[in-house]
Amino acid sequence: MDLLQPIIKPYAWGSRDALARLQGRNTPSAGPEAELWMGAHPSGAAGTARGGQAMTLLDVVAEDPHRELGAACVRQFGGRLPFLLKVLAAEQPLSIQVHPDREQARSAFTAQQAEGGGGPYADDWPKPELLYTLSRFEVLAGFRDREEAAHLLENLEVDGLRPVIGLLRAGTDGQALSEALRAVLERTPDERAPLVSAVVAACRRLAGTTGSGSHAAAYAAVERMSRHHPEDLGLVASLLLNHRVLEPGTALFMPAGALHAYLHGVGLELLANSDNVLRAGLTAKEVNVAELLRTTDPTVRVPVVTPTEVAGPGPTWLYDCPAREFALYRTELDGSGGPLVPTAGPRIAFCAQGSARLSTGDAEQLRLGAGDSCFLPASDEDVLVEGRGTLFVAAVGLSPDEPASLVRGSLPH
């Protein structure tokens, strides 16, 4: 067991109190703190210590992948910890973005490297994501129905949107939504500012009216986002996407190809160990429209994950989703204690509140307070945990031939 020193990413959209409060530090922090990384990604590997020597988790895994990850994980993913666990604290909107699937990432990164490197792909891995909300969380997640999107844009009464509305009404579902997104993002520099200004003004006008119905919140979101990203075409593109406010304790799976943005809130994010991001807007970074459209699939839906209760050291739930790189477990420690779930493979445990004490058969002990995390290598198979609080454990995903009832000890019927 290795206590982790997570990496804080100080992106401008982060909060100055959420992560500091979680870790018991003074607030406000000196600057924005956006993400707490608990993993072995090259651009932000968590620190730890082995034998009194300071190391990163990336170094630990590289020294002995079979011991740290286990033979099955190494066979499937090579010598790479396949998942990355984060706490995300969004005070301002993140970019509208999409992530590739495994084959898209592999082929695009290989082609990029053959051309000398440099480009939108950071690695050859996919980046599916699971978001577990620790607070109310506002998101844009997947495309609206095309007729609903056309109706929402039509209500704005902005002349510059007429071609977009026409594309939505004329085509088939996926093709029409893709072409509508292209028509928004490929506006010339001279067209951009007048269109965005007119759309923001119309959204401001409609946000507080009863006639806007269920779309009032989406209009209001555009007006709020415009304070941080004026003249950004992503403000217009956001209206093509489903706007949702998730209650605490909701888990949302973001598949490859799903266009999305996290707007505001604090959540636990579990994702494949990749940094591949293609952006559509709400950003000062590059927007590669051609590659974005090639990667985005407007027919992909973003589901809420229904947890499955499994046996554990307290009430325990598995948030399994169709990503072989990861699965998330949540245990509400109630003082009874028992074997840590899951029992096998590389794991990262994170204490969201309260405290937990972990121990192994050789009497090694580790205490986690709120905001603390640790890495458990595959070689640590008999880990006991007790305490009172909320403990999350990130692990490798279930393979199709390994149902939860066989590998994780589901509750008896």
Of 357, 165, 135, the residue nearest 267 (C-alpha): 135
Q: What are phi and psi of 62, to 5 degrees?
A: -65, -30
The DSSP bridge pattern shows strands 129-133 and 260-272 to be: antiparallel
Q: What are phi and psi of 327, to 5 degrees?
A: -150, 150
- In angstroms, rounded to a whole number, what is the distance separating the alpha carbons of residues 23 and 143? 36
- The amino acid present at 34, given as its one-letter code, is A
Q: Which tokens in the block code for residue 366? A: 């580790």
**Active-site hit among 21, 144, 279, 347:** 279
DSSP per residue, 39-103: S--TTSPPEEEETTEEEEHHHHHHH-HHHHH-HHHHHHHTTS--EEEEEEEESSPPPEEE---HH
- In angstroms, rounded to a whole number, what is the distance separating the alpha carbons of residues 232 and 82? 34
- In angstroms, rounded to a whole number, what is the distance separating the alpha carbons of residues 322 and 304? 12
80 is catalytic: no
- The amino acid present at 123, given as its one-letter code, is D
Contact (CB, 8 A) for 373 and 85 = yes
Q: How far is CA 364 from CA 28, 43, 342, 347, in A?
A: 36, 30, 19, 17
Q: How far is CA 407 from CA 70, 255, 400, in A?
A: 15, 24, 12
- In angstroms, rounded to a whole number, what is the distance separating the alpha carbons of residues 157 and 180? 17
- The amino acid present at 376, given as its one-letter code, is L
> What is the distance of C-alpha 381 from the center of its chain?
28
Catalytic residue numbers, as ranges: 279
